[in-house]
């Protein structure tokens, strides 16, 4: 036991303990800062970073539920706040009788339906594939038009000859690549 106490006292007096603690603090702080500014977290977590920094919306969840319930003349089951890829706040509203979900704009209180979202699609499937293949060379192995956070997006995967899979989400409104991840299989 005496040996351990002597070793600990020697370590406390040396600069290595101070350097080690300093490096650990800097490392953990840097990792936390990177996590906050990493765009992939914004999309992967449904806008969690934006929701922490964004002010309260003009329309409350309860008001959004009331608006949606009146629009569909049915009971609302769930209301969830989401953020579009350009940062606008919306509420996704689900109904108890399994009617198609709708959105309520969190600032204006207006109803947004899937038909309204579909009218905003400006990028064709062919154009989305062209955008993806300019970003990552290979063969498109998966392709889907999906509605996500009050916007239509193309979700696709490009597989290269050397085994790299690139998954992308492309805005069907603008053609902008919203997310991109690469995996080697």
- pLDDT of 43 > 50? The answer is no
Residue range 174-184, pLDDT digits in tens: 999 999 998 87
Taken in order 135, 139, 142, 147, the sign of the CA dihedral is: positive
- pLDDT in the model for residue 84: 87
d(CA 95, CA 86): 26
| Residue 29, pLDDT score | 55
Mean pLDDT computed over every residue of the chain: 81
Higher pLDDT, 47 or 127: 127
Query: In angstroms, rounded to a whole number, what is the distance separating the alpha carbons of residues 140 and 152?
Result: 19
CA atoms within 13 A on the CB side of 141: 13
Angle at 37 between CA 33 and CA 39, to 5 degrees: 145
Residue 164 vs residue 18, higher pLDDT: 164
Alpha-carbon gap, residue 149 to 80, rounded angstroms: 10
Alpha-carbon span 55 to 134, nearest angstrom: 37
- 11 CB-contact burial (10 Å; exposed 0-12 / middle 13-18 / buried 19+): exposed
Mean pLDDT of 19-45: 50
pLDDT of residue 20: 62
* Whether the domain at 55-112 and the domain at 125-184 fall into the same CATH topology: yes
pLDDT tens digits for range 81-115: 999 888 889 999 999 888 899 999 999 999 999 99
Q: How confident is the model at residue 138 (pLDDT cuts 50, 70, 90)?
A: very high
Comparing 135 with 35, the larger pLDDT belongs to 135
Q: State which fold the 125-184 domain adopts.
A: Nuclear Transport Factor 2; Chain: A, (3.10.450)
**Domains in the chain: boundaries:** 2-37, 55-112, 125-184
Q: Which CATH class, in words, describes the domain spanning 55-112?
A: alpha beta
């Amino acid at each position: 036991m005496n040996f351990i106490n002597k070793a600990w006292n020697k370590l406390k007096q040396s600069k290595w303990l101070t350097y080690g603690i300093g490096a650990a603090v800097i490392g953990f702080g840097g990792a936390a800062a990177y996590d906050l500014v990493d765009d992939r977290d914004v999309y992967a977590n449904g806008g969690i970073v934006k929701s922490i920094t964004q002010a309260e919306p003009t329309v409350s969840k309860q008001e959004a539920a009331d608006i949606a319930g009146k629009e569909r003349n049915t009971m609302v089951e769930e209301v969830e706040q989401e953020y579009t890829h350009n940062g606008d706040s919306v509420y996704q509203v689900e109904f108890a009788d399994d009617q198609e979900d709708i959105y309520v704009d969190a600032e204006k209180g207006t109803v947004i339906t899937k038909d309204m979202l579909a009218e905003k699609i400006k990028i064709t499937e062919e154009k989305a594939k062209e955008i993806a293949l300019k970003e990552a060379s290979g063969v498109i192995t998966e392709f889907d038009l999906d509605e996500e956070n009050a916007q239509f997006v193309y979700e696709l995967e490009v597989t290269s000859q050397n085994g790299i899979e690139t998954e992308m989400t492309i805005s069907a409104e603008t053609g902008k690549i919203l997310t991109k991840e690469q995996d080697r299989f």
